[in-house]
Amino acid sequence: MKKILAVIIFIVFTSCKNDKNLFKDPSASIDQRVESLLSQMTLEEKIGQMNQYNGFWNVTGPSPKNGEQADKYDHLKNGLVGSMLNVRGVKDVKAVQKIAVEETRLGIPLIIGFDVIHGYETLSPIPLAESASWDLEAIKKSAEMAAEEAAAAGINWTFAPMVDISRDARWGRVMEGAGEDPFLGSKIAMARVQGFQGEDLSDPRTIAACAKHFAGYGFSESGKDYNTVDVGTSTLYNIIFPPFEATIKADVKTFMNSFNELNGIPATGNAYLQREILKDKWNYKGFVVSDWGSIIEMKVHGFAKDLNQAAEIAVNAGSDMDMESYAYVKELASLVKDGKVSETLIDDAAKRILRVKFELGLFEDPYKYCDETREKEIIGSAKIHEASLDMAKKCIVLLKNENNTLPLKKEGQKIALIGALASDKNSPLGSWRIAAKDNSAVSVLEGMQQYTGNKLMYAKGADVSLGKTDFITEVYINNTDKSDFAEAISVAKKADVVVMVLGEVGYQSGEGRSSTNLDLPGVQEDLLKAIHKVNSNIVLVLNNGRPLTINWADNNIPAIVEAWQLGSQSGNAIAQVLYGDYNPSGKLPMSFPRNVGQIPIYYNYKNTGRPTLPEKDVVFWSHYQDEKNTPLYPFGHGLSYANFSYKDLLVQQENNTIKVSVNVSNTSKLKGKEVVQLYIQDLFASITRPVKELKGFNLIEIQPGETKKIEFTLTEKELGFYDNSGKFIVESGEFKIFVGGSSITTLDTSIDFKI
Ligand code: NOJ
């Protein structure tokens, strides 16, 4: 009897689990819910999930009648759209979601994407700046705040983090990444993903993240955006891939492929990247979205003959969602019917996308990100601004500080502030700031006025750019107009110290903003020289989205502060550092070249067969005849108002690890933070290894006179590398271990490591 009852319960239970409403049942597993939903979807509806559209204007009003916008609207109503991007604000998101949920046959909610790169309306520092903090907790927190603010505006998916490693400051998008190093880049990538996604993706304060751009986008030839990429396997496996793989460990929900071709195959149509590496080798379960129009751009690359073939190549190669190519929605159904694309691949892509929607909790409540009260409370709130200020201070890098020029004195020092960027409230927002209010950042002038009770003398000196700047238009630089120099000179003459804020306007770096010249743009260096003639006691504050070439400044200006584009609270953060209320601790995540001709320049280069000068004046070594090999400021460089010293470096092998310890002392009278950096060199290996590789870092705070013992453990993960077949190997042999406060380390020793 008992047995019969159990069988009946089992049958009732399974049939209930198989019923068509199973996908609505939160007690079923996500896989069961996905399967249940998929089994009810037509081919067209599955393809619809793979289609992403940019927002269209009047969805909340009368529907568009003609043209592309009308098609998009029709597609949305007919269940042929799975995602939209650039729809933001509760009212608009609700409107599109309502169509998807209430008007389509199955009511599948949309996933709403947006470029929440370093904030939504309240901006934190640009990602390159945040990376200069080397503070993983702070970076995670910053992503968490960005997610919370964006989520309050209806968004549930960000196209961030960009984890492309780049060694080329000509490429404008270095502002969006973590710099040149794969170890630091991987840690930061993970922190950002954890910050955006939190512990629980269904929490309405968290959003799905997207590791982009897979792969090689940061290695575009000559630093020109979207350009050809041709890199060898060693660079691919050891430099480009690691941050991407790290995001998978952090459970990143989505990937974006890239615009570039990689070794002859566009990334969007690259089965090696998306299927072999990402989905097979790394066993990635999330979905891949194309970059904007990158499917149809394969035609322009000369890789697909038309839209139909582009769709076929992209889907077969593993691109699951089409951003704005209209390729999948137009072509996939016929490709399946013609047998050119297997329906199993469509099922796989649709399942990947649906799974993320389930994880976000959108099937329980499609409007969970659409709460007007939260929107009012969270966006622009004090909490988000405080976090942005806290992050901004941590990003500032003190490049140079001779004669204790800094910190400034709050009393008894006549200060002149010079530079158009000093009063600029727009540039600190950078270029990824679509949802921010124009001119909403605190300027340096405003920030410093608080300390001086408005007694600051200010003169613009010269404009950096001409006319209005925006996300899509070329920036025009002022290369000639020096008419305001005179006023700045007379102000400088009256001052004890001159603070000059120079650099790039916000839109000079970012997508499509490559440069061949990295000097201070326009007439700014002439302004600096003109002021220097009348008052050489200058603090140069740089505002920029990429490393610049500032040799003259380095030779002539006593104090230089790298203040990047620091977001909404920029001026307050800069003022706190200049006046010494915050002791700077940032370290460069990218080398600063002396000369554009040195690019690509990076600390983890290879020795070559001829690394050193053989004999005075003999040319046969790897060098330039007109420039040094070294950067102006190396990777990892950054000073503090405190001083640190390193001693007692000890290394020893324990099982298959190397234990490292070092004593770091604060020899000054000020409390300070230091990023203790650990580098290795594998002296002989079956594949040549770089002269130095960062393999550990520790951000510590030390009291005046205090000494801290810092310990690291190098495991096989840090000691090994990928061979040219992509296999990770660890080899016995001699390793050099370096420790210090930059990649120009202070202490080193060697160890014979035996596996
Ligand atoms: C193109 C950019 O390359 C990508 O990073 C961004 O997320 C998309 N546009 C969407 O705006």
Beta-strand ranges (E) seen in 329-469 are 397-401, 415-418, 457-459, 465-466
Which top CATH class is 48-57+69-375?
A: alpha beta
Ligand 1 pocket, mutate which of 255, 289, 291 (most atoms under 8 A from CB): 291
Q: Say if ligand 1 is within 6 A of residue 291 CB.
A: yes
Question: How do the residues of the chain divide into helix, strand and coil, expressed in percent and rounded to 5?
Answer: 35, 20, 45
Residue 467, Ramachandran bin (φ over 0: left; ψ between -120 and 50: alpha; else beta): left
Distance from C-alpha of 354 to C-alpha of 419, rounded to nearest angstrom: 51
> Strand pairing of 644-654 and 657-666?
antiparallel
Q: Say if ligand 1 is within 6 A of residue 673 CB.
A: no
Q: Does the pLDDT at position 147 exceed 70?
A: yes
Residue tagged active-site, from 291, 320, 322, 424: 291
Which alpha helices (H) appear in 19-126, and where do they start and end? Answer: 30-38, 43-49, 67-77, 90-98
Confidence of residue 69 (pLDDT cuts 50, 70, 90): confident
Q: Does the pLDDT at position 13 exceed 60?
A: no
The pLDDT of residue 1: 52
- Cα-to-centroid distance, 258 and ligand 1 (Å): 9
The pLDDT of residue 692: 98
Distance from C-alpha of 169 to C-alpha of 163, rounded to nearest angstrom: 15
The pLDDT of residue 59: 55
Confidence of residue 356 (pLDDT cuts 50, 70, 90): very high
Q: Say if ligand 1 is within 6 A of residue 53 CB.
A: no
Tokens of 305: 């003959």
How many CA atoms lie less than 13 Å away from 248 in the CB half-sphere? 19
Is residue 66 packed enough to be buried (19+ CB in 10 Å), middle (13-18) or exposed (0-12)? exposed
Beta-strand ranges (E) seen in 551-620 are 559-562
SS3 420: helix
Residue 257, Ramachandran bin (φ over 0: left; ψ between -120 and 50: alpha; else beta): beta
The answer to whether 591 and 603 are in contact (CB under 8 A) is yes
pLDDT tens digits, 155-192: 999 999 999 999 999 999 999 999 999 999 999 999 99
Which top CATH class is 382-598?
A: alpha beta
Confidence of residue 10 (pLDDT cuts 50, 70, 90): very low
Distance from C-alpha of 556 to C-alpha of 536, rounded to nearest angstrom: 8
The residue among 460, 117, 150 whose CA lies nearest residue 256 is: 117
- Cα-to-centroid distance, 292 and ligand 1 (Å): 6
Question: What's at 194, amino acid-wise?
Answer: Q
Average pLDDT score over the chain: 96
Q: Say if ligand 1 is within 6 A of residue 511 CB.
A: yes
Beta-carbon contacts of 369 under 8 Å, excluding residues fewer than 6 positions away, are: 90, 93, 112, 151, 152, 153, 154, 155, 156, 204
In the block, tokens 């309050």 appear at 152
Q: Where are the domains of the chain?
A: 1-40, 48-57+69-375, 382-598, 644-753
The pLDDT of residue 19: 77
Q: Say if ligand 1 is within 6 A of residue 159 CB.
A: yes
The answer to whether 647 and 745 are in contact (CB under 8 A) is no
The pLDDT of residue 2: 57
Q: Does the pLDDT at position 631 exceed 90?
A: yes
Going by alpha carbons, the residue nearest to atom 7 of ligand 1 is 159
Distance from C-alpha of 479 to C-alpha of 18, rounded to nearest angstrom: 70
Q: What is the DSSP string of 657-670?
A: EEEEEEEEEE-SSS
The pLDDT of residue 452: 81
Going by alpha carbons, the residue nearest to atom 3 of ligand 1 is 291
Distance from C-alpha of 355 to C-alpha of 361, rounded to nearest angstrom: 10
The pLDDT of residue 18: 55
SS3 704: coil
Strand pairing partners for 229?
262
The pLDDT of residue 12: 46
Q: Say if ligand 1 is within 6 A of residue 272 CB.
A: no
Confidence of residue 236 (pLDDT cuts 50, 70, 90): very high
Span between the terminal Cα atoms of the chain, in Å? 63
The answer to whether 165 and 177 are in contact (CB under 8 A) is yes
Give me the percent of the chain exceeding a pLDDT of 90: 94
The residue among 235, 230, 218 whose CA lies nearest residue 179 is: 218
Asked if the peptide bond before residue 407 counts as cis, ω within 30 degrees of 0, the response is yes
- Cα-to-centroid distance, 694 and ligand 1 (Å): 30
The answer to whether 749 and 681 are in contact (CB under 8 A) is no
Ligand 1 pocket, mutate which of 53, 213, 256 (most atoms under 8 A from CB): 256
Would you call 25 a catalytic residue per the annotation? no
- Cα-to-centroid distance, 297 and ligand 1 (Å): 14
The pLDDT of residue 488: 98
Atom of ligand 1 nearest to the CA of 259: 3
Distance from C-alpha of 110 to C-alpha of 82, rounded to nearest angstrom: 5
pLDDT tens digits, 263-311: 999 999 999 999 999 999 999 999 999 999 999 999 999 999 999 999 9
- Cα-to-centroid distance, 624 and ligand 1 (Å): 37
pLDDT tens digits, 596-624: 999 999 999 999 999 999 999 999 999 99
pLDDT tens digits, 478-497: 999 999 999 999 999 999 99
Neighbours of 103 (CB within 10 A): 12
Using alpha carbons, list the distances in angstroms from residue 184 to 243, 528, 702.
Answer: 9, 34, 22
The residue among 489, 465, 497 whose CA lies nearest residue 479 is: 465
CATH fourth-level superfamily of 644-753:
Immunoglobulins (2.60.40.10)
Q: Say if ligand 1 is within 6 A of residue 115 CB.
A: yes
The pLDDT of residue 20: 86
SS3 425: coil
pLDDT tens digits, 654-708: 999 999 999 999 999 999 999 999 999 999 999 999 999 999 999 999 999 999 9
Distance from C-alpha of 172 to C-alpha of 513, rounded to nearest angstrom: 5
Beta-strand ranges (E) seen in 305-407 are 322-323, 397-401
Q: What is the DSSP string of 361-402?
A: TTTT-TTTT--HHHHHHHTT-HHHHHHHHHHHHHH-EEEEEG
- Cα-to-centroid distance, 47 and ligand 1 (Å): 22
pLDDT tens digits, 438-480: 999 999 999 999 888 877 999 999 999 999 999 999 999 999 9
Q: Does the pLDDT at position 418 exceed 60?
A: yes
Confidence of residue 66 (pLDDT cuts 50, 70, 90): confident
SS3 34: helix
Atom of ligand 1 nearest to the CA of 210: 7
H/E element, 700: strand 693-702
What's the average model confidence in pLDDT over 145-162?
A: 98
Is residue 252 packed enough to be buried (19+ CB in 10 Å), middle (13-18) or exposed (0-12)? buried
SS3 486: helix
Confidence of residue 7 (pLDDT cuts 50, 70, 90): low
Tokens of 372: 């007007």
The pLDDT of residue 63: 65
